[in-house]
Chains A and B, each alone.
Chain A
Amino acid sequence: MTTSGALPLLLRIAAVALAALGVIDPRLQWSETVPAAVDLRIVSDHDDTAGADAARSAVDRLQRSVGEKVAFNTGAAPAARVLVGGVSTIDPLPIADVSVSTIAVGKPSSPNVRIVAADSPAAAPLGWSARIDATIEAVGMSGRKSVVVLEQQGVALARTEYAWRSDRERTQVEMFYAAPVTGVSRVSLRVLPAEGEAITLDNKVDLRLETVARQLQVLVHEPRPSWATAFVRRALEQSAVFDVAASTGASRGLAVRAGAPPSRLTAGALEAFDLVVAGAPEELTRGEVDALRSFARVRGGAVILVPDRRPSGPYVDLLPTARFEEVLVENPLPLRSPQPGSVRGSEIAIPREVGAGRVIASVGQKAAEEPVIVEWTAGAGRVIFAGALDAWRFRAADSDGYARFWEALAATASVASPRKIEVSIDPPIARPGESVAVRARLRRTELIETATRTRTAPLEARIMGADGSTTPIRMWPTADVGVFEGRIVAPAEGRYDVQVASEQTTADDVLITAADVRHAAGTLDSSADVAGAIAMSTGGVAVGAEDLAPLERLLASLPQGVTTRAIHPVRSMLYVTAFAALLCAEWTLRRRRGLR
């Protein structure tokens, strides 16, 4: 066969091969490089038109300089994020799965007031004011005043003023408000915007306020009659918030009782109480002291020791110090205390070592202040020593101040005593879609402890909507014994009951979700700090609008993306053309030879 004769054959074979390939339609992987995807967001204060313009200008410049190397907002998974504008006003911050860089626009950051931190207060009994503590910070407000308002549904409930003394200042404000009904409500803490304030979105924080109808269980135990305790007892008995049980040893084997006190002071018998007020504590037996210690450490209860003479006897072991100094003065001294009410004393037992204790009331001036009423943490609970031995004598000195002091002290200590299960939600008011932690803390009395292991009863948690829909929450044990935590995604706007149940008891809490919830700004000093922190923690850069070079370098250095896709070559027009060309060539050669 000559060469000229073989060529048509070859062409024919090639055409057949292409046809066969066309039938098979093979699939091939094809990779190509693409510009890096960047998610770019402009965020600014709604009132700040100039800031928005500056942000847009910065974006234009950035797009011109690195537009060939990166692609903005393509919808693809971003290789980096860029936030432009008022970084501190971004709420919530984007998920930091990639580097986040920030461009600060030229808007001045002062004068500005912002709420740095504010926690939802602990639940308060009905008729009692919850204490709302907040940290607010001002920049460029020296000599001006800020008004802090507590609001509910836009109605001002309480307000306080603060006069700023320096250009950069941070202060604590406290407000009190007694919710009128039991339950959970959403309130807002708002700093009224100052004239010309740079950023107003950080002036408001949403808080949860809980009021409970719970009556606080108090036991007043006196091994012998004691005036010091009798008047504390009377103050508590006159308040509806306390359910007081009292036992006074009148003589050997004889007692005067009121309410339902336990017949003996044992750890088990004390579990039902939130607070034990122990009068004439030097008469307590070693067994009773052990019961009180267990009550404080394991049950998490509060013990208030109200002696009327110099501390002695086994109960001193409950205190971190056994050294006391007894002071007698001719005229009663008023005790200094942040507590409501007032107390005076002329016979005072001063603990010589306070250590980790917290001084609730003291005498003397700052330089020579001596602790009189001190609280020490004891395990899960607390022990409070009241060293004003004869304060009861001066109880009428400040128009019922004595009774108010003791009511407030007892109520605060009792409220802090945990129930069998304590449920907490963080954040208590969340946006739909926000991650929410549900935490259940079992009281130590609910744990089954052996020498080698600690067990708990099975725990079930669920979240229930107003329409009756129920979603279980998986609770995981944490590093803390008896503490379980679960995470949920905050559902649509509304109120939800989060219920945690063990075999014997159930506890619940309320989750409020709303789209316009605002959380505290955080503890970083300024907008620049926030931006820097975000950038540093995510591998981004924080730049100003006037100098974008570091950001341009970062974006230019982003690895270009590689896109891999599947191709079918036989489906292309080139393939069809090649097939047709082969057939045509073969036909032409054959015709030249005179073949058909």
Chain B
Amino acid sequence: RHPDRARPPVRARVFEAAGEVIQSTNRRDVVPLRRPTWAFLISVLIAAAAVAVISQRTGVGTGSSRDDVARSGADAGHGLVVVASILPPAYTREPLRTLENPDRIDAIAGSRLRLVLRSRDAWRVRLGHDEVRLQRVEGGAAGEVSLAESGYLAFERRESGQDDRRLVPVAVTPDRAPAIRIDAPAKDLLLPDAKATVPVTATATDDFALESLDLRYTRVSGSGEQFEFKEGSIPLQISRPSDRSWSARTRLALGALALAPGDSLIYRVVGKDRRPGDAGFASSETYFIEVAGPGQVALEGFELPPDRERYALSQQMIVLKLERLRARERSLARRALEEEVANIAAEQRAVRSNFIFLTGGTVEDEEEEAAHEHEIQEGRLENTARREIANAIQHMGRVEQGLAAVNTAAALPAAKAAVDALQRAFGRNRYFLRTLPSRSRVDPARRLTGELATASNWRRELFPIQTDEPAAAARMLLARLLELSPQIRSGSLPSAATTALAEQAIAVAPSSVEWQRISKGLVALGDTPPGDSTGRATLLSEIVAGVVPLTRGQRLGSVGAPDEERSLRSAWEGGSRR
């Protein structure tokens, strides 16, 4: 322990003996490393194999953008790698996005979706019910499709004896039209004369980029039975803080617009985003400036009744729009034509609904009408030529029928006939379709001038009730799940059946998160091993819990059948009163 304390000969003797012993000793026997080394190597091999197996099952670690797609994504351990490249429309100036094995795809309407499938097997791809054409490329197949509306991608193995289908929801967000708002004066004005200048400011925003902004007006002038509509536009001074948000200002010089007493100016700010064609066109609310007529008392800038339903749309304007549309109808693509016709049809419906309401029927939006009940009553007294209005309503119905068939030739004569009928009904009165301004001019001369003999019963048309399709689909799915629940729990239901249900579910509302979750759950149900009955039961419960709220069952109230005690008490009290 302390060699320096020993005597030198003893020390030398000890060292000599130790050296002899060491020299005769095998170093491998002193520190055996072979077994630990083998154990270490075997452990490393086992660990590596385990990691490889796990990563193959779950897909973890095979790519940075790879989500957990084992159950719902395109891979799911089926030897398929999907690379989805989404190219947004050029006008959006958004970059290309590439996803590998996505479990959902979000895109803007009009985007191009390029799919590259890498697999040793042949796969078929559908976007909803439409097959995506695939071409052979190096290492797999590729296809491209344009995304117009939400749907789902179905990847199906071609040569599989069993159903091998993966679903990926595709949520397509339409490009929103610009939101344009007039900030000032933001109200209707009744001015004493046409000398004033009205400053107008507006703001516009868009989800990608704005392209233009413009103030358009319609000057309404005339008297008697005919009115003249003249349209024009006024340039705006535009400030562009960004592509997505603009502000604009201008001044409406009424004198320069040649307005006369009693005339009106209807104006709005219109804008457009960068979409090609008329698709990105939008308009602000429409406001009125009315120049007081002879005998009409108006304070400076008097605000017209704040009526949320500013029915600045008259039947005459519908005629005008129809005539313009007919003039350029041939140059329009079918889709664009349908869209424009649909817009006019919507306006026609609004006009018709309001006239129906004025005659005591039903209207589309009654909220504001009901708030002005007394005005409506007043209006009923005023409008004695109800039969003409009824005729006009019938003509408007024909306009709607013509527009529904995208037949402007049929719609235009009916629209003109409706104008004629309305002009006969209202005579001098203008009929912008607001509920009735508070300063409605009642013409006592027209009171009690109707023909009593022509009064008759009337049959009100009942509108067909729209079915809640998603709720009906949810009910069907729930019924099917309950019917199949014993087989689902036992694992005897083929995965093809659950995948088919998953496809039905995603087809109901591809962009809905709830339906996506249900579809994903059904795919996962199909992937759950038959032996895992607990896992299948849990998944089934989760799916059903998601489906039940979508059935949107309305609740019955608490009024029940008359029970005997209440009946007896009621009868007793009735008898007592007698």
Q: Which residues of A contact B (CB under 8 A)?
A: 122, 124, 126-131, 152-158, 176-178, 180-181, 225, 227, 231, 234, 237-240, 244, 246, 250-251, 254-259, 320, 338-340, 355-358, 360, 375-382, 384, 392-393, 395-396, 404, 407-409, 411-413, 415-416
Contacts beyond the supplied A152-B482, A178-B553, A227-B370: 5 A-B pairs with Cβ under 8 Å: A178-B554, A180-B476, A258-B459, A338-B558, A384-B559
- B440-477 residues with Cβ-Cβ distance < 8 A to A are 455-463, 465, 467-468, 471, 474-476
A415 partner residues in chain B, CB cutoff 8 A: 556
Q: Does B557 reach chain A (CB closer than 8 Å)?
A: yes
A131 partner residues in chain B, CB cutoff 8 A: 555-556, 558
Instruction: Determine which of A250, A259, A381 lies in contact with B458 in the assembled complex, contact meaning CB atoms within 8 Å.
Output: A250
Instruction: Determine which of B371, B456, B458, B465 lies in contact with A240 in the assembled complex, contact meaning CB atoms within 8 Å.
Output: B465
Instruction: Determine which of A231, A246, A408 lies in contact with B366 in the assembled complex, contact meaning CB atoms within 8 Å.
Output: A231
Q: How far is the CB of A422 from chain B (nearest CB, A)?
A: 10
Contact A234 B362 (CB under 8 A): yes
A356 partner residues in chain B, CB cutoff 8 A: 566, 569-570, 572-573
B468 partner residues in chain A, CB cutoff 8 A: 127
Instruction: Determine which of A254, A355, A392 lies in contact with B573 in the assembled complex, contact meaning CB atoms within 8 Å.
Output: A355
Contact A128 B555 (CB under 8 A): yes
Contact A320 B554 (CB under 8 A): no
Contact B562 A340 (CB under 8 A): no
* Bound Cα distance A340, B458 (Å): 35
**What is the chain B residue whose CB lies nearest that of A356?**
B569
Q: How far is the CB of B390 from chain A (nearest CB, A)?
A: 12
A-B contact count (CB 8 A): 168
Contact A377 B556 (CB under 8 A): no
Q: How far is the CB of A239 from chain B (nearest CB, A)?
A: 7
Whether A320 contacts B573 in the complex (CB less than 8 A), given A339-B557, A412-B557, comes out as yes
Contact B558 A256 (CB under 8 A): no
* Bound Cα distance A358, B561 (Å): 12
Instruction: Determine which of A178, A227, A396, A404 lies in contact with B551 in the assembled complex, contact meaning CB atoms within 8 Å.
Output: A178
Q: Which residues of B contact A (CB under 8 A)?
A: 360-362, 366-367, 370-371, 373, 455-463, 465, 467-468, 471, 474-476, 478-479, 481-482, 485-486, 489, 537, 540-541, 544-545, 548, 551-562, 566-567, 569-570, 572-574, 577
Whether A177 contacts B553 in the complex (CB less than 8 A), given A155-B481, A237-B462, comes out as yes
Instruction: Determine which of B371, B459, B551, B555 lies in contact with A257 in the assembled complex, contact meaning CB atoms within 8 Å.
Output: B459
Does more than half of chain A's interface fall in helix, strand or loop, or is it mixed? mixed
Contact B548 A256 (CB under 8 A): no
B555 partner residues in chain A, CB cutoff 8 A: 128-129, 131, 176, 340, 408
15 contacts between A and B (CB under 8 A): A126-B475, A127-B471, A128-B553, A129-B554, A178-B553, A227-B373, A238-B465, A257-B460, A320-B574, A338-B558, A356-B569, A360-B557, A377-B569, A393-B371, A408-B557
* Bound Cα distance A429, B302 (Å): 73
Contact B360 A408 (CB under 8 A): no
Instruction: Determine which of A155, A246, A251, A340 lies in contact with B460 in the assembled complex, contact meaning CB atoms within 8 Å.
Output: A246
* Bound Cα distance A396, B366 (Å): 10
Contact B554 A127 (CB under 8 A): yes
Q: How far is the CB of B475 from chain A (nearest CB, A)?
A: 4
Q: How far is the CB of A482 from chain B (nearest CB, A)?
A: 14
Whether A360 contacts B559 in the complex (CB less than 8 A), given A155-B485, A155-B540, A177-B548, comes out as yes
A239 partner residues in chain B, CB cutoff 8 A: 465
Contact A256 B360 (CB under 8 A): yes
Q: How far is the CB of A424 from chain B (nearest CB, A)?
A: 11
* Bound Cα distance A287, B573 (Å): 23
* Bound Cα distance A355, B576 (Å): 12
A126 partner residues in chain B, CB cutoff 8 A: 475
* Bound Cα distance A157, B577 (Å): 49
B572 partner residues in chain A, CB cutoff 8 A: 356
* Bound Cα distance A129, B569 (Å): 30
* Bound Cα distance A356, B371 (Å): 37
Of listed B486, B551, B561, B572, residue having the most chain A CB within 10 A:
B561
**What is the chain A residue whose CB lies nearest that of B541?**
A156
* Bound Cα distance A255, B367 (Å): 25
Of listed A128, A153, A250, residue having the most chain B CB within 10 A:
A153
Contact B485 A411 (CB under 8 A): no
Whether A377 contacts B462 in the complex (CB less than 8 A), given A178-B551, A180-B479, A412-B556, comes out as no
**What is the chain A residue whose CB lies nearest that of B371?**
A393
* Bound Cα distance A127, B485 (Å): 22
